[in-house]
């Protein structure tokens, strides 16, 4: 198969790194949408800009990535979602934020704009609009004996807000419709005009559980745009942080999923491992979540003295106790009864949506942005666990296997940790330049795209893996009982904040 | 199976590790315990509301329930409904999209009630303050009795804050 750059005709943009960016006409934009629909490319993201739209595509067979740009001076563009459904919510967000209209059959309801902003198209022509919360038209449901269960935005637990509208027949869910956007903070608009330091802080607060992944993605995009080389020690310390973050989140998730099946002992034990991991992170970098520790150019601080010893102690504890916890999970039939064959995501759907992280890898999609990806993972040995079952159980097992891989990665990182500088100076830049990066967070691949102008951020787009996972949750819940929704939801553990921006 | 359970039970669950912040935790834990007993007869129900946070604060609030901090031993516990709550623990810059939900949650909480705003964003909107989509700090929407700063606050700071709340409101608690 020929390369994406050959199949999508356009004018190559200088100063966009490391993937090519091409400015195309409408027919090539449609060609790109058709490639997505035909499964010959995967949608990495779709985002608005001043009078233009961009989309990032991946060819999974070759690993080739490309950004395609369409100028839309008349404020409309051919809908990608008309060909390829995974683009739909992204297009609705573009309409809300930029006022650019996707043309084609689609969903013309707002997505992030719930009617409270007092402004329309805040990143586009920014029109004042009265605060008017029109009733949202949920999709119509018809049939005998159906009832609806509205949940949220304020949920029962200590979790983020969002609304779920269940339609059930008795206990069986026939449809779930999500309504998100409640934690929309306008991060895209805050990014524009910010300096790089503030941009890094904002990126680190897109989704707190993935603060390291976002900080690395943002930093890599900046470094690509400015053609910077960063010190080897910083590269390794970033990976150390990323793997500690992955472990902490996976521990938390494994326990929390089991807790939603009322198996609290797993939750308690996994919670202990999570806490120990956060304490090790704190001992290393002075912050439990390692927020603001990764900065453009490198890392903000070195390991505290003796921190490596504490990490080794953590590895020892986890190696001793985690297998017992896994055994407990494996040998508890009543728990397995809840997780096995529950919430099945079909591999075809995972592939079409380009589902990242454990959601994709539990449904046969062997994609991990770390391979082939970025340093230092090319120098480290690790497996990418993949399963086909696609149920809650498989998503737990992927996390278990990934914890094991992260243990080994952390060990390798500590062994190889090079000495030297922590941070390269940010060069003064001349012409405007663009950078893009794809980084594997615990939840999946985080995309960061940035345009730097006059040493400030012109536009920065951050795409959470949840954009392509939330719609799949709607699909997997169908036919399951209401009581299994928390299990399914937790096994996805999508980010609200990362999605709502 | 029994053997596994026994082995697991032998993990050092609540034994404080010999580190300075552990000592501080023990000290604060004792004070929270005494104050909670005196004022509330060992019970205070907390309803957490995320009004727009990045979820970092939620992670640390969650940690209060783990075996190290074990909030429930003080009679402080998280409840599922504002109708059962004495305290609303609110995170985030309040987004415009969450303002009404926060107001309604506050109104659904019976008196007497207290609001604890958690995190730097909850104080004044933090890094998100100037956005078109953000109202600002929690006190722009509901009256706040206490701020616990931090980005996010450590669990130990959250414990300290709850202690401060318990000690600072003698009039309200009859």
pLDDT digits (tens, 9 = 90+) for A87-112: 999 999 999 999 999 999 889 999 99
The answer to whether residues A153 and A163 touch, using CB atoms and an 8 Å cutoff, is: yes
pLDDT value at residue A125: 83
pLDDT value at residue B171: 45
Select the residue of B13, B101, B131 nearest A190 (Cβ to Cβ). B131
What number is the average pLDDT over the span B73-90?
A: 91
The answer to whether residues A482 and A149 touch, using CB atoms and an 8 Å cutoff, is: yes
pLDDT value at residue B6: 62
Q: Is the pLDDT of residue B172 over 70?
A: no
Higher-confidence residue of B173 and A281: namely A281
Q: Is the pLDDT of residue B72 over 90?
A: no
Give the count of alpha carbons within 13 A of A295, CB side only. Answer: 16
Contact list, B156 vs chain A (CB under 8 Å): none
In angstroms, the separation between the Cα of residue A224 and the nearest Cα of chain B is: 25
pLDDT value at residue B4: 57
pLDDT value at residue B41: 62
Q: How far is CA B9 from CA A333, A501, B2, B70, in A?
A: 20, 42, 10, 16
Q: How far is CA A332 from CA A114, A116, A263, A342, B1, in A?
A: 44, 48, 10, 16, 9
CB contact under 8 A, B61 and A158: yes
pLDDT value at residue B15: 38
Phi, psi for A86 (deg, rounded to 5): -55, -15
- Of A354, A379, A378, the closest CA to residue A367 belongs to A354
CB contact under 8 A, B58 and A208: yes
Give dist(CA A366, CA A352) in Å, integer: 13
pLDDT value at residue B28: 65
Percent of residues, chain A, with pLDDT higher than 70: 99
Higher-confidence residue of A372 and A211: namely A211
Q: Is the pLDDT of residue A3 over 80?
A: yes
Question: What confidence category does residue B20 fall into, taking pLDDT thresholds of 50, 70 and 90?
Answer: very low
Give dist(CA A235, CA A239) in Å, integer: 6
3-state secondary structure of B28: helix
Q: Lowest mean pLDDT: which of A255-259, B43-47, B131-135?
A: B43-47
Give the count of alpha carbons within 13 A of A469, CB side only. Answer: 31
- The continuous run of DSSP H or E covering A58 comes out as strand A52-59
- Interface size A-B, in CB pairs within 8 Å, comes to 155
What number is the average pLDDT over the span A432-459?
A: 95
Percent of residues, chain B, with pLDDT higher than 70: 72
CA geometry: angle A491, A495, A499, nearest 5 deg: 135
Q: How far is CA B99 from CA A177, A499, B54, B80, B104, in A?
A: 22, 19, 16, 19, 9
- Of A54, A126, A70, A56, the closest CA to residue A97 belongs to A126
pLDDT value at residue B42: 60
Q: Is the pLDDT of residue B140 over 50?
A: yes
- Of B109, B116, B81, B51, the closest CA to residue A116 belongs to B51
What number is the average pLDDT over the span A160-178?
A: 95
CB contact under 8 A, A185 and B81: no
B106-140: b or e for each residue (b if 16 or more CB lie within 10 Å)?
beebeeebbbbbbbbbbbbbbbbeebbbbbbbbbe
Percent of residues, chain A, with pLDDT higher than 90: 91
Residue A323 contacts by C-beta under 8 Å, 6 or more apart in sequence? none
- The continuous run of DSSP H or E covering B134 comes out as strand B134-136
Question: Rg for chain A (alpha carbons), in Å?
Answer: 22
CB contact under 8 A, B8 and A186: no
CA-based nearest residue in chain A for residue B98: A182
End-to-end CA distance of chain A: 36
Q: Is the pLDDT of residue A381 over 80?
A: yes
Give dist(CA A254, CA A273) in Å, integer: 11
pLDDT value at residue A127: 81
What number is the average pLDDT over the span A49-78?
A: 95
Select the residue of A114, A154, A265 nearest B49 (Cβ to Cβ). A154
**Cβ–Cβ contacts within 10 Å for residue A21, how many?**
21
Q: Is the pLDDT of residue B105 over 50?
A: yes
The H-assigned helical ranges of A50-135 are 88-98
Residue from B55, B104, B124, B156 whose CB has the most chain A CBs within 10 Å, to mutate: B55
Q: For chain B, percent helix, then strand, then coil, each to nearest 5?
A: 45, 15, 35
What number is the average pLDDT over the span B144-152?
A: 92
Average pLDDT of chain A, as a whole number: 95
Select the residue of B1, B93, B98 nearest A182 (Cβ to Cβ). B98
At A462-493, the pLDDT tens digits run 999 999 999 999 999 999 999 999 999 999 99
Give dist(CA A18, CA A220) in Å, integer: 10
Q: Is the pLDDT of residue B37 over 70?
A: no
CA dihedral sign, ordered B34, B38, B39, B40: positive
- The continuous run of DSSP H or E covering A225 comes out as helix A211-225
pLDDT value at residue B139: 95
In angstroms, the separation between the Cα of residue B169 and the nearest Cα of chain A is: 25
In angstroms, the separation between the Cα of residue A357 and the nearest Cα of chain B is: 19
- Of A164, A191, A196, A195, the closest CA to residue A177 belongs to A164
A246-266: b or e for each residue (b if 16 or more CB lie within 10 Å)?
bbbbbbbbbbbbbbbbebebb
pLDDT value at residue B17: 34
CB contact under 8 A, B151 and A291: yes
What number is the average pLDDT over the span A144-157?
A: 91
- Of A439, A255, A250, the closest CA to residue A358 belongs to A250
3-state secondary structure of A407: helix
Give dist(CA A51, CA A98) in Å, integer: 8
CB contact under 8 A, B127 and A201: yes
Percent of residues, chain B, with pLDDT higher than 90: 56
Residue A288 contacts by C-beta under 8 Å, 6 or more apart in sequence? A278, A279, A281, A282, B60, B154
CA dihedral sign, ordered A292, A293, A294, A295: positive
In angstroms, the separation between the Cα of residue A207 and the nearest Cα of chain B is: 5
Phi, psi for A414 (deg, rounded to 5): -65, -35
**Cβ–Cβ contacts within 10 Å for residue A213, how many?**
33
- The continuous run of DSSP H or E covering A43 comes out as strand A42-49
């Amino acid at each position: 198969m020929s390369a994406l750059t050959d199949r999508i005709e356009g004018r190559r943009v200088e100063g966009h790194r490391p993937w090519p960016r091409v400015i195309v006409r409408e027919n090539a934009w449609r060609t790109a949408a058709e490639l997505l629909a035909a499964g010959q490319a995967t949608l990495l993201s779709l985002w608005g800009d001043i009078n233009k739209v961009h989309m990032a595509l991946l060819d999974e067979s070759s690993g080739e990535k490309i950004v395609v740009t369409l100028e839309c001076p008349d404020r409309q563009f051919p809908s990608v979602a008309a060909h390829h459904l995974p683009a739909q919510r992204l297009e609705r967000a573009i309409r809300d934020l930029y006022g650019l209209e996707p043309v084609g059959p689609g969903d013309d309801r707002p997505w992030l704009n719930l009617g409270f902003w007092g402004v329309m198209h805040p990143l586009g022509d920014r029109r004042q609009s009265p605060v008017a919360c029109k009733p949202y038209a949920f999709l119509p449901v018809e049939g005998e004996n159906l009832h609806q269960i509205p949940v949220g935005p304020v949920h029962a637990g200590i979790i983020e807000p969002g609304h779920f509208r269940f339609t059930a027949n008795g206990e069986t869910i026939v449809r779930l419709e999500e309504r998100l956007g409640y934690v929309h903070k306008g991060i895209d608009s805050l990014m524009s005009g910010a300096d790089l330091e503030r941009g890094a802080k904002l990126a680190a607060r897109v989704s707190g559980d993935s603060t390291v992944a976002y900080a690395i993605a943002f930093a890599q995009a900046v470094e690509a745009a400015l053609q910077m080389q960063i010190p080897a020690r910083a590269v390794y310390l970033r990976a150390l942080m990323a793997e500690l973050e992955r472990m902490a989140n996976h521990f938390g998730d494994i326990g929390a999923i089991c807790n939603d099946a009322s198996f609290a002992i797993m939750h308690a034990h996994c919670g202990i491992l999570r806490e120990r991991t956060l304490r090790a992170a704190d001992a290393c970098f002075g912050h439990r979540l390692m927020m603001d520790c990764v900065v453009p150019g490198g890392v903000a601080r070195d390991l505290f003295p003796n921190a490596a010893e504490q990490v080794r102690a953590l590895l020892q504890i986890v190696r001793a106790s985690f297998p017992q916890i896994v055994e407990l999970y494996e040998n508890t039939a009543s728990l397995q009864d809840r997780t096995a064959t529950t919430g099945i995501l079909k591999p075809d759907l995972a592939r079409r949506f380009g589902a990242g992280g454990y959601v994709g890898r539990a449904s046969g999609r062997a994609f991990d942005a770390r391979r082939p990806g970025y340093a230092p993972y090319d120098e480290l040995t690790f497996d990418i666990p993949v399963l086909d079952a696609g149920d809650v159980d498989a998503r737990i097992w992927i996390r278990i296997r990934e914890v094991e891989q992260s243990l080994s990665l952390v060990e390798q990182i500590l062994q190889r940790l090079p000495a030297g500088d922590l941070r390269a100076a940010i060069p003064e830049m001349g012409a405007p330049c663009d950078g893009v990066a794809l980084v594997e967070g615990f939840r999946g691949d985080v995309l960061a795209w940035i345009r730097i102008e006059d040493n400030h951020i012109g536009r920065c787009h951050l795409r959470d893996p949840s954009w392509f996972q939330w719609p799949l949750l709607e699909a997997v819940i169908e036919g399951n009982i209401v009581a299994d929704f928390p299990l399914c939801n937790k096994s996805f553990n999508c980010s609200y904040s990362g999605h709502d921006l | 199976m029994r053997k596994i359970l026994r082995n697991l039970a032998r993990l050092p669950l609540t034994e404080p590790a010999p580190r300075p912040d552990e000592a501080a935790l023990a000290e604060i834990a004792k004070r929270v315990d005494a104050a909670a007993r005196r004022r509330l007869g060992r019970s205070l129900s907390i309803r957490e509301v995320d009004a727009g946070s990045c979820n970092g604060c939620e992670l640390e609030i969650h940690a209060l329930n783990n075996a190290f901090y074990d909030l429930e031993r003080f009679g402080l516990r998280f409840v599922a409904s504002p109708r059962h709550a004495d305290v609303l623990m609110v995170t985030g810059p309040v987004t415009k999209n969450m303002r009404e939900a926060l107001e309604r949650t506050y109104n659904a909480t019976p008196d007497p009630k207290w609001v604890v705003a958690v995190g730097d964003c909850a104080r004044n909107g933090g890094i998100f303050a100037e956005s078109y989509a953000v109202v600002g700090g929690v006190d722009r929407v509901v009256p706040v009795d206490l701020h616990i700063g931090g980005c996010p606050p450590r669990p130990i700071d959250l414990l300290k804050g709850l202690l401060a709340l318990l000690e600072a409101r003698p009039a309200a608690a009859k």
